[in-house]
Structure 1
């Protein structure tokens, strides 16, 4: 079969579009995995920083600052982090596994924050 030059160029353009579409979807999948990894690492790292919050606020505002900051920290840990995780992961497929790993870390960080606040309360009560 003999093809004209315009048919050959049209066919090559369709082939390029097909290959580019595959490449774009592969790059989007890679970006989702990278965003998911960064989000999980960020949420785990921030969870371990929350027990320091009562000490920082207690140094400035005393015992009132200790408990006020603890309330905000625990609310952020238990209410906002799952929402952030939902936006970061979306429907990537790894979320169901990661949520079972992250939730105990968030709960432990919240309990540790409250325990840290109790110690800070007695320190700044003087």
Structure 2
């Protein structure tokens, strides 16, 4: 059964995205891949990814970094919050080519995960088992 944007629990997906950042995020395209376990239209996957990504950036739970390539060995810059909309509006930013945009947890993000994960542990485990 095809799901719609409204069927997705954004709170759970926010935690999944933060876990993704904790594990070492190879690029923001990975965030749409995280939604692959849902039978969603591609437009909805990008809509959800953008909403959550913008929220966790604005809440300072993660930082957005630009790397030279997929190895994430050579950081080019940390993206200023004022540039986020422009980057997310550029389709190239969402694909693993050329420079890579990646998210990393901040101390605030680690604290958020430590507080919120116990509350949603069963639902997160169930969600991650469906990857």
- TM-score, length basis structure 2: 0.31
**Higher fraction of strand:** 2
Tell me which structure has the larger Cα radius of gyration: 1
